[in-house]
Amino acid sequence: MRKLDTLFIGLMLFSMFFGAGNLIFPPFLGAESGTSYWVAMAGFIVTGVGLPFAVLLAVSLVNGGAQAIGNRVHPLFSTVFMVIVYLSIGPFLAIPRNANVAFEMGVKPFLNESWNVSLVLLLFTAVFFALSYLVSLNPSKMEKYMGRWITPTLLLSMVVLCAVGFVKLDGQLPSPSEAYQSGAFFKGFLEGYNTMDALASLAFGIVILSAIQQRGVTERKKLTNYTFKAALIAGVLLSAVYVSLGLIGGKMAANGTFSNGTEILSAASTQLLGKGGVTLLGFIFTLACFTTVVGLTSACGQYFSKLMPKASYKMIVLAVTLIGFTLSNMGLAQILKVSVPFLVTAYPLTIVLVVLTFFNRYFKDSKKVYGSAILFTAVFAVMDGLNTFGLDLGPLQNLKEILPLSAVGLQWIVPALVGTGIGLLLSNSGKKTPVTEEAEA
């Protein structure tokens, strides 16, 4: 495969990752973390860039991708988990979230108070999803549309905004907010969950592998090698954008109080470029959200059409588009309210599966290791998700809070290690000790 092909696939991967959450969360982290910015951003990049990178590599290493990784726990677990992941990063959460953010930033600032916002949202999402449907219909041409045309335009727009910000904004980083005064790295680590990119990697893996295979690459080692190179390109670009947006957020903190990243970027673009800045920012958000929706729609189409052979790729893409269109008209606040509890539940399971995949050669697909590790992780991950919904678990709550790292939201790590250890013991105890000739005599 040509180096230029790898570059374009890497750019396509960047554009699929770079959506609403990738724009919203870094500037708010910068404003909140203040002088603890670099430590917090390091944590954010671990889960916002490093973890998706690791997931892609894990998927490329296993014949059968993410589904095969889940099968090491149990085929039923794999199917249920992957269906939940695809529906969440697809039509039920991430897709409508991106469409809504595109509207909030690309259209709403230009509306008069007399306009019917709900009607305009309906019209905007109708056009938005019609275009995403048309582009998603032909996955073989996605690299051409997104890698060669849309992504360079998106990156150029981002460079203009960030360059002007660095030149004109001279505010100093403030003192960190209460949340970042201690454990800034772990706070940034958890904030990286919100990008949803690690879960998206489970879905995007099939798209990237298909793009590479279409160029005649079939050997597993070469597939992993090209996936690594494409992911490295996307990862470097994402890290650069996150750092830049975070610094803009940190410098804007002196100019007022902001409740989220969209407010920071809106204020920054207006201050830096006037009405032209609002237009540029709206263009960036709309383009970024559009590419992510296309990538997620195509990934869902490829996965569900293989899971249900009677349903064609085009049929699945149409269904995903219609569901996303319907839910996007519910409003951004409701979508975000549902997404956070799911993320804090799904991320630990994803992390454990990926880590076990990289060490798989030491316990050779042992279902006891995978099953025990996932079981112990799931108990505390689900508890954390229920807490995020606002549920008090009574005595179980006390158990959760006494675990190491519970103060920084990572109480699932020790149970995961314990579960892995128990799985290894069970796996080794089940092996028969070979009888030597001397013993037989």
The CATH number assigned to the domain holding 282 equals 1.10.4160.10
The distance from CA 264 to its chain's CA centroid, rounded to whole angstroms, is: 22
- Kindly state whether residues 250 and 373 are assigned to the same domain: no
The identity of residue 232, as a single letter, is L
CA angle 91, 97, 102 (to 5 degrees): 120
The distance from CA 290 to its chain's CA centroid, rounded to whole angstroms, is: 15
Q: What is the pLDDT of residue 327?
A: 87
The residue with tokens 């494409």 is 230
Stretch among 77-86, 96-105, 196-205, 262-271 having the lowest mean pLDDT = 196-205
CA distances from 182 to 39, 40, 45, 373, 388 (A): 11, 10, 18, 30, 21
Question: If you average pLDDT over residues 71-100, what whole number do you get?
Answer: 87
- Kindly state whether residues 296 and 169 are assigned to the same domain: yes
- Kindly state whether residues 227 and 370 are assigned to the same domain: no
Q: Does 79 score more than 80 pLDDT?
A: yes
Alpha carbons 232 and 216: distance in angstroms, whole number: 21
- Kindly state whether residues 309 and 411 are assigned to the same domain: no
Q: Which residues contact 416 (CB under 8 A, 6 or more apart)?
A: 348, 352, 373, 376, 377
Per-residue pLDDT reduced to its tens digit, 311-348: 999 999 999 999 999 988 876 566 666 666 777 788 88
What is the pTM (predicted TM-score) of this model?
0.78
Residue 341 lies in a domain: no
Q: Taking Cα atoms as reference points, which of 17, 58, 61, 65 lies closest to residue 307?
A: 65
- Kindly state whether residues 325 and 409 are assigned to the same domain: no
**Cβ(109)–Cβ(282) below 8 Å:** yes
Question: In the chain, pLDDT over 90 holds for what percent of residues?
Answer: 29
Residue 194 lies in a domain: yes
Q: What is the pLDDT of residue 246?
A: 93
Question: If you average pLDDT over residues 156-172, what whole number do you get?
Answer: 84
Stretch among 146-155, 267-276, 356-365 having the lowest mean pLDDT = 146-155
Q: Does 405 score more than 70 pLDDT?
A: yes
- Kindly state whether residues 313 and 369 are assigned to the same domain: no
Q: What is the pLDDT of residue 369?
A: 94
> Comparing 352 with 440, which gets the higher pLDDT?
352
Alpha carbons 62 and 48: distance in angstroms, whole number: 23
- Kindly state whether residues 394 and 322 are assigned to the same domain: no
Stretch among 158-172, 232-246, 422-436 having the lowest mean pLDDT = 422-436
Q: Does 217 score more than 80 pLDDT?
A: yes
Neighbour count for residue 43 (Cβ, 10 Å): 22
Per-residue pLDDT reduced to its tens digit, 257-311: 888 888 888 888 888 888 888 888 888 888 888 888 988 898 899 889 988 989 9
Instruction: Work out the pLDDT band at 194, boundaries 50, 70, 90.
Output: confident
Instruction: Work out the pLDDT band at 430, boundaries 50, 70, 90.
Output: low
Q: Does 256 score more than 90 pLDDT?
A: no
Residue 207 lies in a domain: yes
Average pLDDT, the chain: 85
- Kindly state whether residues 63 and 212 are assigned to the same domain: yes
Residue 380 lies in a domain: yes
> Comparing 4 with 293, which gets the higher pLDDT?
293
Instruction: Work out the pLDDT band at 441, boundaries 50, 70, 90.
Output: very low
Choose the final residue of a domain: 332, 350, 384: 332
Q: Taking Cα atoms as reference points, which of 179, 148, 177, 144 lies closest to residue 35?
A: 177
- Kindly state whether residues 150 and 280 are assigned to the same domain: yes
Q: Which residues contact 383 (CB under 8 A, 6 or more apart)?
A: 393, 396, 397, 400
Q: Taking Cα atoms as reference points, which of 433, 396, 283, 260 lies closest to residue 336?
A: 260
Instruction: Work out the pLDDT band at 437, boundaries 50, 70, 90.
Output: very low
Residue 344 lies in a domain: no
- 240: its two tokens: 């650069």
Question: 151-168 and 261-273 are packed helices; what angle lies between their axes, rounded to 10 degrees?
Answer: 70
Alpha carbons 104 and 166: distance in angstroms, whole number: 25
Residue 304 lies in a domain: yes
Residue 33 lies in a domain: yes
CA distances from 81 to 63, 76, 88, 316, 433 (A): 18, 8, 11, 19, 36
Per-residue pLDDT reduced to its tens digit, 9-39: 888 888 888 877 788 889 999 999 999 999 9
Residue 154 lies in a domain: yes
- Kindly state whether residues 106 and 247 are assigned to the same domain: yes
- For 408, the domain range is 359-430
- Kindly state whether residues 167 and 229 are assigned to the same domain: yes
SS (H, E, C) the chain: CCHHHHHHHHHHHHHHHCCHHHHHHHHHHHHHHHHHHHHHHHHHHHHHHHHHHHHHHHHHHCCCHHHHHHHCCCHHHHHHHHHHHHHHHHHHCHHHHHHHHHHHHHCHHHCCCCCCHHHHHHHHHHHHHHHHHHHHCCHHHHHHHHHHHHHHHHHHHHHHHHHHHHHHCCCCCCCCCHHHCCCHHHHHHHHHHHHCHHHHHHHHHHHHHHHHHCCCCCCHHHHHHHHHHHHHHHHHHHHHHHHHHHHHHHHHHHHCCCCCHHHHHHHHHHHHHCHHHHHHHHHHHHHHHHHHHHHHHHHHHHHHHHHCCCCCHHHHHHHHHHHHHHHHCCCHHHHHHHHHHHHHHHHHHHHHHHHHHHCHHHCCCCHHHHHHHHHHHHHHHHHHHHHHCCCCCCHHHHHHHHCCCHHHCCCCHHHHHHHHHHHHHHHHHCCCCCCCHHHHC
Alpha carbons 125 and 354: distance in angstroms, whole number: 35
Question: If you average pLDDT over residues 364-374, what whole number do you get?
Answer: 91
Instruction: Work out the pLDDT band at 438, boundaries 50, 70, 90.
Output: very low
- Kindly state whether residues 238 and 309 are assigned to the same domain: yes
Instruction: Work out the pLDDT band at 440, boundaries 50, 70, 90.
Output: very low
Q: Does 370 score more than 70 pLDDT?
A: yes
Structural domain tally of the chain? Answer: 2
Alpha carbons 230 and 55: distance in angstroms, whole number: 13
Q: Taking Cα atoms as reference points, which of 46, 322, 53 lies closest to residue 192?
A: 46
Q: What is the pLDDT of residue 406?
A: 80
